[in-house]
Chain A
Amino acid sequence: MQGMLDKTFVEPFRRLAAHFESVWPSLITVLVILIIGGAVAVTLRWMVFRLLTRAKFDRLVDTTGFGSAILRTQLFRSPSDFAARIVQGVCWAFIVLFALVAVEAPVANSLVDRFVNYIPAMLTAGLVLLLASAVSKFLARSALLAAVNAQWPGARLLAGSVRVLVMTLGVLVALEQLRIGLTPLLVTFAILFAGIVVAGAIAFGYGARDMARQWLQERMKPPTQEEEPFHHL
């Protein structure tokens, strides 16, 4: 009876205790790394936030149009907060990897290699997105001003379309850098884009033939006296 009890209950507990005894130093190590690393990450975030705020990073980002996009997510207080949290996130990734290496987890080395190899791609993708954001804002503003000054209807729609198009291209390039499966995205984009163009052409052709003819006639005819009424200078 005693033997059966030992075999059923005591022995498993002994094995569990022995196993725990062998891994608990590692768990303590992980815990310490996470606590210290977490503190470092939070401190780093605070420092980066203060530094960027003082350097008027928010105003700089505002000029690219990225600032309003960040605020619209309602996840971040400001572009500085966004950047500080990214730094904190990257710091956490390193801490977790460090912890895995510290406990000699079987996947640790391969994870570290893959993560380190992925960093340049992530940086490139981030830069591409920032550049696309700035360029799309500039081109959208150029289109808006040109359309308004030329008295074209739908100026905002045109500007919005320019922005979406440039940002879409930027996102596609960024995804390519990140080596995320692009084929389905490209196919979807191509189908959508072609669909929009065809739908627009059909709608314009059927619904606004007269308007198109009138518009072209106005474009083709030479300017009249009334169109250049006086010398501004």
Chain B
Amino acid sequence: MESVLSKDVQERLKGVGAAEIVVGIPSYNNVRTIGHVVRACSAGLSKYFPTHRSLIINSDGGSTDGTREAAQQAEHDTESLLLLTQHPVSPVQRISAPYLGVPGKGSAFRTIFAAAGLLGAKACVVVDSDLRSITPQWIELLAGPVLGRNFDFIAPYYLRHKFDGTITNGIIYPITRALFGKRVRQPIGGDFGFSGRLAARYLEKDVWESDVARFGVDIWMTLTAIAEGFVTGQAYLGAKLHDAKDPGADLTAMFRQVVGSLFTLMETYQQVWQSSNGSQPVPMFGFPFEVGVEPVKVNAERMVAAFARGVKELDSIYSAFLSHPTREALAAWAANTGDGFRLPDKLWVHVIYEYAAAWHHRTLDRQHLMESLVPLYLGRTASFVLEMRDSSPIEVEDRIECLCSEFEHERAYLSTRWLANGKENSHAGNAG
């Protein structure tokens, strides 16, 4: 555990001694927002957990814009918290430290897990450093069920624009639910609460040279908790507003890390999903309320064009692992890119399951496999946007539920593809 932490950080943690709650904030060049995030966390710990010893650790990836200094200097006025029930027994400790290992969010989390282990933390919370909508109550909602109700993992539940989070809505949530049986709505939300026991379990895993060390860490944390039987819940946090996306994190790389990690987890926990059946809701903490969300601009026509071009240009690649009916259906929709353009649920489910099987069978280089999925994902996203353009958020949520049902319904198809030898099965299947 200690090799994860530099000697300097170990010394500083020894100085802290022990902490019951550790709040981790991974960062990289977030000087504009990290001060607000640290203040919100500090206020949340003072207000909701005044009797607990706590630490905020900023795990930084080598920021050059003064993020670490901003995190250290951010102060909040405990007197201004009007509803403070009692003064904290000890001030919230704060450490800002660079992490070791592969640059990425996962490596930053690893440092936080190690710090939590060293301090004997009972509960941990991790929150993104680019948040603009975080409030002190987030800390209570994410750490409270762990400390008071013996939950091991609390995922966030945000209100988002109907066209926001399309990888979550189109791939990650449906598969988490269909295969692992838990309806965790935001499996890659990025802000989580978890027990010290689960943090120790995370630290035992040998995944820190893989995509888990980067963007894949969110889905890895969620699915590890669910698949290994840790008690899981979710907390209603309201809207998630955050800074503009890291420009270096392009869609292809992010997509590969997240979806690739999901497929790898399907391999790791093959026994779990093959023996599970159906899905159950998970307990929700917090008080749901309506809130305005940021408007989202979507250029569906451009995505449809990218889809059509991808289907046409990449056919030689798709023929290596997609079934003949699936490719025929994709080609038919690529030729029909007008207003009525749709990628039906069943076809999309077959595409994703065939990709998962190809990942499992290593039919193609895995990076190429993920890159070839991007045009199809854009097509599915455009189809969803065109279909839901005039729909209310509730109707959109119902539509996502329908997609999830299709993923659950087609589980047998996944099993067939998964167990069969990828290439020999390329003429099987029946997609609409």
B-binding residues in A (CB < 8 A): 59, 138, 141-142, 144-146, 148-149, 151, 155-156, 223, 225-226, 228-233
**Contact yes or no, A149 B365, CB < 8 A:** no
CB-nearest residue of chain B relative to A145?
B371
Contact assessment for A155 and B297 in the assembled complex, using a CB-CB cutoff below 8 Å: no
Chain B residues in 8 Å Cβ range of A59: 423
Q: List 7 A-B contacts (CB under 8 A).
A: A141-B317, A141-B365, A145-B371, A149-B306, A149-B374, A232-B167, A233-B190
Would you call B298 and A149 a contact (CB within 8 A)? no
Q: Is B432's beta carbon under 8 Å from chain A?
A: no
Question: Shortest distance in angstroms between B20's beta carbon and chain A's nearest beta carbon?
Answer: 31
By secondary structure, the B interface counts as helix
Shortest distance between the CB of A196 and any CB in chain B (Å):
23
Check A230 against B163 for contact (C-beta < 8 Å): yes
Chain B residues with a Cβ under 8 A of chain A: 161, 163-168, 188, 190, 215, 218, 244-245, 247, 251-252, 254-255, 258, 296-299, 305-306, 309-310, 313-314, 317, 365, 368, 371-372, 374-375, 423
Other A-B pairs beyond A145-B371, A230-B298, A233-B258, 4, CB < 8 Å? A138-B365, A148-B313, A230-B297, A233-B168
Cβ-defined contact, B255 with A232, below 8 A:
yes
Q: A223 and B247 in contact (CB under 8 A), knowing A142-B368, A148-B309, A149-B371?
A: yes
Known contacts A141-B317, A145-B314; is A232 also within 8 Å of B423 by CB?
no
Residues from chain A with Cβ under 8 Å of B258 in the complex: 233
Contact partner of B310 among A138, A141, A148, A229, CB < 8 A? A148
| 7 nearest CB pairs, A to B | A145-B371, A230-B296, A232-B167, A229-B297, A148-B313, A155-B313, A229-B298
Contact in complex: B168, A226 (CB < 8 Å): no
- Asked if B317 and A156 make an inter-chain contact with CB atoms under 8 angstroms apart, the answer reads no
- From B424, which residue of chain A is reached at the shortest CB distance? A59
Q: Given the known inter-chain contacts A59-B423, A226-B297, please indicate yes or no for A144 contacting B166, CB distance below 8 A.
A: no
Cα(A149)–Cα(B376), bound, Å: 11
B166 and A232 contact, CB distance less than 8 A: yes
In Å, the complex CA distance between A161 and B190 comes to 42
| Contact A233:B368 (CB < 8 A) given known A144-B314, A148-B314, A155-B313 | no
Q: How far is the CA of A233 from the CA of B310 in the complex (A)?
A: 21
Contact pick for A145, options B245, B251, B317, CB 8 Å:
B317
B164 touches A231 (CB 8 A): yes
The listed residue (A148, A149, A233) touching B165 by CB distance below 8 A is A233
Residues of A within 8 A of B168 (CB): 233
Given contacts A148-B310, A148-B375, A149-B375, contact A230 B166 (CB under 8 A): yes
CB-CB under 8 A from B314, the residues of chain A are: 144-145, 148
Nearest CB in chain A to that of B168: its residue: A233
Q: Tell me whether A231 and B165 are in contact (CB under 8 A).
A: yes
B32: min CB distance to chain A, Å: 17
Inter-subunit contact A145/B306 (CB<8 Å): no
B251 touches A232 (CB 8 A): yes
In the complex, how many angstroms separate the beta carbon of A200 from the nearest chain B beta carbon? 21
Interchain nearest-CB distance for B382 vs A (Å): 11
> Which of B167, B297, B375, B423 sits near A233, CB closer than 8 Å?
B167
**A228 CB to nearest chain B CB (Å):** 6
Residue on B with the closest CB to A155? B313
Docked-complex contact A230 and B317, CB < 8 angstroms: no
Give the docked Cα–Cα distance between A233 and B306 (Å): 19
CB distance from B216 to the nearest CB of A (A): 11
Determine which of B164, B188, B297, B372 lies in contact with A225 in the assembled complex, contact meaning CB atoms within 8 Å.
B297
Please give, as numbers and ranges, the residues of chain A lying within 8 Å of B251 by CB-CB distance.
Answer: 232
Is the CB–CB distance between B306 and A151 below 8 Å? yes
CB-based contact B297/A232 at 8 Å = no
Give CA–CA (A11, B313) in the complex, Å. Answer: 79
User: Known: A141-B317, A142-B368, A148-B313. Is A229-B423 also a contact (CB below 8 A)?
Assistant: no
- Given the complex of chains A and B, what is the CA–CA distance between A123 and B251 in angstroms? 44
Question: Are A144 and B317 CB-contacts (below 8 A) given A149-B252, A228-B245?
Answer: yes
Please name the residue on chain A nearest to B378 by beta carbon: A149
Closest A residue to B188 using CB positions? A233
Alpha-carbon distance between A223 and B218 when the two chains are bound, in angstroms: 27
- Nearest CB of A to B280, in Å: 25
Interfacial chain A residues near B423, Cβ < 8 Å: 59
CB-contact partner of B368 in A145, A223, A230, under 8 A:
A145
Smallest CB separation, A177 vs chain B (Å): 28
**B374 — which chain A residues lie within 8 A by C-beta?**
149
Residues of B contacting A146 with CB < 8 Å?
Answer: 371
CB distance from B189 to the nearest CB of A (A): 9
Q: Within the assembled complex, what's the spacing in Å between the Cα atoms of A39 and B297?
A: 74
Give, as a whole number of angstroms, the nearest-CB distance from B186 to chain A: 10
A226 to B298, CA, bound (A): 7
Residue of B nearest to A223 (CB): B247
In the assembled complex, which residues on chain A have CB atoms less than 8 Å from the CB atom of B371? Answer: 145-146, 149
